[in-house]
Chain A
Amino acid sequence: MHARKRKGAAALAVLAIASLAIVASALARADVAPTAVAAPNASCTGAKIGFMGPITGDAAFIGKEQLGFSKYAIRKLAAGKVKLVEGDTQLDPAQASTVGTKFAADASILAVVGPAGSQEVLAVSPIFKKGQRLPFISGSATRTSLTNGSIPNFFRVVPNDSVQAPTTAKYIRQILKAKSVFIVDDQTAYSKPLANGVQANLRSGGVKVTRNSVNQKVTDFSSLVSKIGDDVNVVYLPWQIAANAQIFGQQMKEQGKKAIIFGSDGVDSGDFKIPGSYISAFAPDIRAIKGNAAFVKGYGAKFVSNFGPPMYVATQAAVAAITKACADGDATRAEVQKNLKATFIPKSILGGNFQFTARGDVKGAKFYIFKLGAGGKKTLVG
Chain B
Amino acid sequence: MDFDFFVQQLVNGVTLGSVYALIALGYTMVYGILKLLNFAHGEVYMMGAFAGFGILSVFGGALSLSINVVALIAMMLGVAMLGSGLLGVVIERFAYRPLRDAPRIAPLISALGVSFFLANSMQLLFGATPRNYNTFDLANASLYTKGFNVGNVHVALLRIITVVAALVLMMLLWFLVNRTRTGKAMRATSFDREAAAMMGIDIDRVIVFTFVLGSALAGAAGVLQSLRVPTTVAIGFVAGLKGFTAAVIGGIGSIPGAMAGGLILGFAESYAQGYISTKWSDLIVFSILILFMIFRPQGLLGRADIRKV
Which A residues contact B (CB, under 8 angstroms)?
A: 1, 4-5, 8-9, 12-13, 15-17, 19-20, 23, 26, 56-58, 60, 90, 187, 212-215, 218-220, 222-224, 226-227, 243, 247, 250, 253-256
Residue with the greatest number of chain A CB neighbours at <10 A, chosen from B129, B141, B281: B129
Q: How distant is B232 from chain A, measured CB to nearest CB, in Å?
A: 7
Q: How far is it, in angstroms, between the C-alpha of A255 and the C-alpha of B156 when the chains are bound?
A: 8
Contacts of B156 in A (CB 8 A): 254
Which 7 interchain pairs have the tightest Cβ spacing?
A9-B297, A223-B273, A219-B229, A222-B12, A13-B293, A226-B8, A254-B144
A222 close to B270 (CB less than 8 A): yes
CB within 8 A of B5: which of A4, A226, A256? A226
Contacts of B15 in A (CB 8 A): 222
Contacts of A17 in B (CB 8 A): 290
- Judged by a CB distance under 8 angstroms, whether B195 is at the interface is no
Q: How far is the CA of A329 from the CA of B84 in the complex (A)?
A: 60
Check B278 against A214 for contact (C-beta < 8 Å): yes
Question: A187-B279, A222-B12, A223-B278 in contact; A12/B297 too (CB < 8 A)?
Answer: yes
Query: Which of chain B's residues have a CB closer than 8 A to the CB of A219?
Result: 130, 229-230
Residues of B within 8 A of A57 (CB): 128-130
Q: Can you list 24 A-B contacts (CB < 8 A)?
A: A1-B307, A5-B297, A8-B305, A9-B293, A9-B298, A23-B282, A57-B128, A57-B130, A58-B130, A60-B129, A90-B128, A212-B278, A213-B277, A214-B278, A215-B279, A222-B15, A222-B270, A223-B270, A226-B5, A226-B8, A243-B230, A247-B229, A253-B136, A253-B141
Q: Other CB < 8 Å A-B pairs besides A223-B278, A250-B136, 6 of them?
A: A9-B297, A9-B298, A15-B108, A214-B279, A223-B281, A254-B145
* In the assembled complex, B206 has its CB within 8 A of some CB on chain A: no
Partner of A16, one of B290, B305, B309: B290
Asked whether B290 lies within 8 Å of A13 as measured between CB atoms, the reply is: yes
CB nearest to B157 among chain A residues = A254
**Pair B248/A255 contact, Cβ less than 8 Å:** no
Closest Cβ neighbor of B19 among chain A residues: A220
Q: In the complex, are the beta carbons of A253 and B230 less than 8 A apart?
A: no
Chain B residues within 8 Å of A56, by CB: 127-129
Residue of A nearest to B104 (CB): A11
A220-B229 contact given A23-B238, A253-B141, A254-B144, CB 8 Å threshold = yes
Contact, CB under 8 Å: A243 / B132: yes
**How far is A226 from B130 in the complex, measured between Cα atoms in Å?**
25
- A interface SS class: helix
Q: Which residue of B lies closest to A64 (CB)?
A: B129
* Distance in angstroms between the alpha carbons of A267 and B294 in the assembled complex: 44
Complex Cα spacing A255 to B4, Å: 11
Q: Are A256 and B154 in contact (CB under 8 A)?
A: yes
What's the minimum C-beta distance from A34 to chain B, rounded to whole angstroms? 22
Q: Number of B interface residues at 8 Å Cβ cutoff, please give it.
A: 54
CB distance from A23 to the nearest CB of B (A): 7
CA distance A56 to B129 in the complex (A): 5
Chain A proximity mask over B1-19: 1 for CB below 8 Å, otherwise 0: 0000100110010011000
Write the nearest CB–CB distance from A92 to chain B, whole angstroms: 9
- Distance in angstroms from B127 CB to nearest chain A CB is 5
**Contact between A12 and B12, CB atoms less than 8 A apart:** no
Let me know if B278 and A253 touch, CB within 8 A: no
Closest-by-CB residue of B relative to A244 is: B230
Which partner residue on chain A sits nearest B4 by CB separation? A226
Expressed in whole angstroms, the minimum distance between the Cβ of A216 and any Cβ of chain B is 11
Name the B residues within 8 Å of A9 (CB-CB).
Answer: 293, 297-298
Q: Is A250 touching B144 in the complex (CB atoms < 8 A)?
A: yes
Closest residue of B by beta carbon distance from A214: B278
CA distance A12 to B301 in the complex (A): 16
Is B286 interfacial (CB 8 A cutoff)?
yes
A255, B129: Cβ atoms closer than 8 Å: no
Say whether A255 contacts B8, CB under 8 Å. Answer: yes
What is the CB-to-nearest-CB distance from B30 to chain A, in angstroms, rounded to a whole number?
A: 14
Q: By the criterion CB–CB under 8 Å, are B241 and A23 in contact? A: yes
Residues of A within 8 A of B5 (CB): 226-227
**Are B305 and A223 neighbours in the complex by a CB distance under 8 Å?**
no
| B305 surroundings in chain A (CB, below 8 A) | 4-5, 8
**Which parts of B252-309 form the interface with A (CB within 8 Å)?**
252, 269-270, 273-274, 277-279, 281-282, 286, 289-290, 293-294, 297-298, 304-309
Whole-angstrom CA separation of A17 from B127 in the bound complex: 30
Closest A residue to B135 by beta carbon equals: A250
What A residues does B230 contact at CB under 8 A?
A: 219, 243, 247
Residues of B within 8 A of A218 (CB): 278
A207 shortest CB reach to chain B, Å: 22
Q: Which residues of B contact A60 (CB under 8 A)?
A: 127-129
Chain A residue at minimal CB-CB distance from B238:
A23
Question: Which residue of chain A lies nearest to B143 when distances are taken between CB atoms in the complex?
Answer: A254
In the complex, what distance in Å separates the CA atom of A187 from the CA atom of B132?
Answer: 23
B293 contacts A254, CB within 8 Å?
A: no
